[in-house]
Amino acid sequence: MPRIQAATVAEHHEHQRRALIAAARGILAETGEVPTMGEVGRRAGLARSSVYQYFASAEELLAAVVADSFPDWARHVLDRVAAASSPGARVWAYIEANVELFTGPQQAVANALMRTVDPQVLHTPMKEFHAQLQVPLREALTALGEPEPEAMAEHLGSLVVQVARDVGPCTPAAPDTDPGTPAATDAGRRALARLRRLLGGYLHLPPTTEAHPTP
């Protein structure tokens, strides 16, 4: 039995459970494939048999990854939007944060989950994720003076997805990368450069001196 390194047994069990979820997310980010329970245990430093003390099946583990990942990704976007100082900057922060998700290793996690998890398990977290992000985006667009904030929010969301897909596939995470921490990638920077050329004037963004990335 692993040595208890927490104040209580309950805290120790929660720590181990979260370590297993993080291990599964890390493997999904690196490979885009669902890991075995043994792989997850090795990554977390637990025996395969110990993994089953926390999750009865791979399906239950993946459901926990879903429940953990979508709120993390939403917080990434919402925190960036909240930190911006003007309506246009808040819309741009929304775009930047989403591009980081769509072009980084988090997308490999999302793709693997969508291929392997029961759609009923994904439905509610995905719906809540979309609804959470639409609120501050619509508010920022309204403050910007946009006469159709709901329609424009949908258009911007579709545009971000399309441009992110066009610049190339998502980047697998390196083994020492935290899949819960989105960051800019080369593909993401190309996507953002295109989006800024399209939307910079509309959002009243200051001009940038960055050279245009090579397509």
Average pLDDT rounded to a whole number, residues 60-87: 96
Which residues touch 132 (CB under 8 Å, ≥6 apart)? 74, 78
* 46 inside domain: no
The total number of structural domains in the chain stands at: 1
For residue 12, give the DSSP letter. Answer: H
Residue 7: phi and psi, rounded to 5, are: -65, -35
Q: What is the average pLDDT score of the chain?
A: 88
d(CA 95, CA 160): 7
Query: Of 15, 12, 33, which is closest to residue 24 (Cα–Cα)?
Result: 33
* 27 inside domain: no
**How far does Cα 52 stand from its chain's mean position?**
27
Query: Of 150, 160, 165, 59, which is closest to residue 113 (Cα–Cα)?
Result: 59
**Span 195-210, pLDDT tens digits:** 999 999 999 999 875 5
Q: What is 60-113 written as a DSSP string?
A: HHHHHHHHHHHHHHHHHHHHHHHH-SSHHHHHHHHHHHHHHHHHSHHHHHHHHH
d(CA 43, CA 176): 11
* 17 inside domain: no
**Span 1-58, pLDDT tens digits:** 445 555 688 898 999 999 999 999 999 989 888 899 999 999 999 999 999 999 999 9
* 93 inside domain: yes
Query: Of 70, 82, 84, 107, which is closest to residue 183 (Cα–Cα)?
Result: 107
* 82 inside domain: yes
CATH for 72: 1.10.357.10
* 208 inside domain: no
Q: What is the pTM of this model?
A: 0.84
Residue 177's alpha-carbon distances to 27, 96, 197, in angstroms, are 10, 20, 31
**Which residue range(s) make up the domain with 69?**
63-199
* 195 inside domain: yes
**Span 90-124, pLDDT tens digits:** 999 999 999 999 998 888 899 999 998 999 999 99
Residue 33: predicted pLDDT: 87
**Span 126-163, pLDDT tens digits:** 999 999 999 999 999 999 999 999 999 999 999 999 99
* 115 inside domain: yes
Which residues touch 194 (CB under 8 Å, ≥6 apart)? 163, 167
Alpha helices in 32-57 (DSSP H): 37-44, 48-51
